Structure formats: structure tokens, C-alpha cells
Amino acid sequence: MSREFNFLERQLLEAIQTKVIPWVQEGVPLISLDPPPFIVTREKTRIKVREIPTAPLPALHGIGGDVRVRHWHDNNLNAYSVPYWGCVMEGEVDLVVSVTEEMCQERNIKPARWVISMPPKTMFWMPPGVPVTMSGLHWERPHPEKAHSRIFWMHVTPTGANCHFCSTAEGQHWEHPFVFVPTSQLWPIAQRISAEFESRNAFYQSMLEYSMQILLLHTLRGIHEQPEIPLVIDGMPQTVPNEGGEQVIERALNYIDDRFKDTGLTVSQVARHVHLSPTHLGRLFRKHLQSTVWQIIVNKRFERACQLLEQSTFNIRQISVYCGYAHTSTFVTAFQKRYGKSPTAYRQEHLPQKGVET
């Protein structure tokens, strides 16, 4: 039975069906951002790698979440607990890959950071745990005003995949909203792709191309099969078939982790993402987390605010926007109420040696 797809789903379907799958079939480069060396599935490519000697990143740094497990804010680097991959749809993309102290010791590699420049029709696979740039202009060269790109992203979890696009043009960068594809079929395929990259056994290139096609086809099926609206049985909204409360909560938390900095994020949006009514999702949160959905969102915003006050040189206005507050005054008032002190006072207590203009 056919259904109507929303705008974001139609964008995703069109990109996968008309571009990404055909590109995989014609054998576009697929690069694994696992240092060193970088593994490319095609010998003749226009991918360029620039190595910059530098000190290794501290092994433990930053505050993680369900998907992002570590971050190094000053370097704009993040490491994830799940496979993450992307495809350069338009323009050129620069990504930075680095190593931690423990990675240098475990792999016996020298500390450095690598700038990988990729042309259109390049796919890149990011294994869990590797520090990679995931925000900004994706441009590591002069004249940022010339940056232009469009990237398709997907991170795969045991319960499905979060997909979205990001765009860069005229020195500005923005992320498009996420589409979650609820299917457990993607996780074992993603694990297989990571294993093929790691082993590089006979026929690994063919196995990678085959696995990527299967991953994308299951993604398409997941979009087609997910319900258009929340299921309602006997007046009670139900979860997606064969999905338990803990799985729903995991998806909701992942969504909040990805979107908490959006000033317009609402409980209804989170509920719609997991195909439940706000009331039903609220019951699940109270049962399993002893908290409301909104309180989780607020906690996430303040957690990040404290982290940025302690570890960054962003001013208070920048921090308020990054943490999901459209107005600095609202952020300052809420912070004062929660911690009994202003953001500036909090920063001065934790970083007395830094005189940061607010």
C-alpha cells in the first residue's frame, strides 16, 4: 500500500535512487577515514591527502552522548560510537582526521592530522572512535567564501539510521533536518563494511560495493515501510511494530542529541520522529528515565552550555545560540535560575585564567 512521503523523505529517496546507488554501481571511490593509511577502493581518484605533523589529541576529552562519544572542541573533531558515512553530492569537501594518544600507542603510528580533499561522487566511511571533523564549512584551504558543497550523511545504529544533508555556499554552512529510518537490517551490514575495510581480504572491493548497495536498498525499504502517521489502536498510540519501549527511547534520545541546539525543537517533533503521541512518549520517559522529554532536552542544553563555558572561548551570545536559545537574555535567565549564578560567573569560576569577552 503506497503512502505520501514528506519533503525530506522525498529528497532522501531521490538522492539514493537516482545518484548514490548508481554511483556505487559504477564504482565511485569509497575511502575509509581510518589513519593511517587511508584505504581507497579505486586506484585512480582525485582524492588528495595532506599530512600535517602535530601533537596527538588527549585520549579522553569532552562530553559524549549516545552516538558521539568524544569531542575535541578546540580542534572541531568528534569521535562516534557507531559507523558514520557520507557521500559528496556536489562541490568539493575537506575533512580532517586526527589521532589520539592511545591510538598512537595501540597502532604504533606517528601523531599527525590529515586533510582529505574529496571531489564530487566520493564516498567516505568513518569507523567508530576515529576523530573526524563533522561541522563547519568542510573547507581547509584559503578563501572560505569559495567553499561550496552538499553532503549526504548517514549514521547507523542497531535500531536504524539517521540521514540528513548539509550544504555550504558563500561562506555559510547549514544542516538540513534529519530523517530517521527505523530498521534493524542496517546494523549488521554496517558491521560487515567496517570488517571488510579492516581485513582487506581477497575481493574486499567487490564486497564493499555489494554491501553498500544492500545498505542503501534496505534504507529505501525502511523509508517505504515506516508508517506515515502514528499507529492508533483502540484510541492508544502505538509504537512501530516489533519495537520495544527501550528502543523507542534510544531513538528519541539520539534525535535529541542531534537536534537539541535547534531553537525550534519541541516535544511534538521528538514524538513525531518515533511515531508516538507526545503523551505516550512522555509516559515512556517517566517510566524508564524518571524524567520528562522536555527536561531531557533542557538538561542536554545546559550540559553543553557548561562544557562550552569551561572549554571554549565562545562568547555568551554564541553559546546561547549553540545550545538552542534564540535569545541570549532567555539563556542567561534560565542559566541563573538553574545554577544560581550567571554564565559569566560560572566561566570565571572554572577558567579564572581566561579573560573572555562576553
User: Residue 254 is part of a domain; what is its CATH number?
Assistant: 1.10.10.60
Q: Can you tell me the distance from the alpha carbon of 309 to that of 328, in angstroms, rounded to the nearest whole number?
A: 14
Whole-number average pLDDT of the chain: 83
- Within a domain: residue 358? no
Rounded-to-integer distance, Cα 327 and Cα 317, Å: 8
Same domain, 77 and 191: yes
77 beta partners = 72
Provide the pLDDT confidence category of residue 236 given band limits of 50, 70 and 90. very low
pLDDT digits over 79-102, tens only? 888 888 999 999 999 999 999 888
User: In this structure, are residues 270 and 294 in contact, taking their beta carbons and an 8 Å threshold?
Assistant: no
Asked whether residue 82 falls in the same domain as residue 179, the answer is yes
Measured CA to CA, the distance from residue 40 to residue 207 in angstroms comes to 14
345 or 136, higher pLDDT: 345
Residue 136 inside a domain? The answer is yes
The pair phi, psi for residue 57, each rounded to 5°, is: -75, 150
* 124 and 244, same domain (yes or no): no
Task: Say how far apart CA 263 and CA 327 lie, in whole Å.
Answer: 9
Per residue in 72-101, is it b (16+ CB within 10 Å) or e — as a string? bbeeebbbbbbbbbbbbbebbbbbbbbbbe
Domain total for the chain?
Answer: 3
Closest listed residue to residue 244, CA positions, set 282, 284, 273, 277: 284
Same domain flag for 310 and 332: yes
Task: Assess if residue 1 is contained within a domain.
Answer: no
21 and 124 within one domain: yes
Domain boundary among 225, 246, 268: 225
Q: What residue type is 324 in one-letter code?
A: G
Is 2 within a domain?
A: no
CA torsion, points 312, 80, 174, 123, in degrees to nearest 10?
140
Contact 122, 45 (CB under 8 A): yes
Whether residues 104 and 245 share a domain: the answer is: no
Q: Are residues 169 and 276 in the same domain?
A: no
Residue 207 belongs to a domain: yes
Q: Mean per-residue pLDDT for 265-290?
A: 83
pLDDT value for 237: 41
| Segments forming the whole domain that contains residue 17 | 7-225
Nearest Cα to Cα of residue 36 among 109, 95, 116:
109
Q: Which of 10, 353, 4, 354 is nearest to 179 (CA)?
A: 10
Q: What is the pLDDT of residue 297?
A: 92
Residue 193 lies in a domain: yes
Residue 159 has pLDDT above 70, yes or no: yes
Burial class (CB in 10 A: 0-12, 13-18, 19+), 260: buried
Choice among 64-73, 168-177, 247-256 with the minimum mean pLDDT: 64-73
Note whether 180 and 273 are within 8 A (CB): yes
- Clarify whether residues 208 and 77 are in a common domain: yes
Same domain, 265 and 321: no
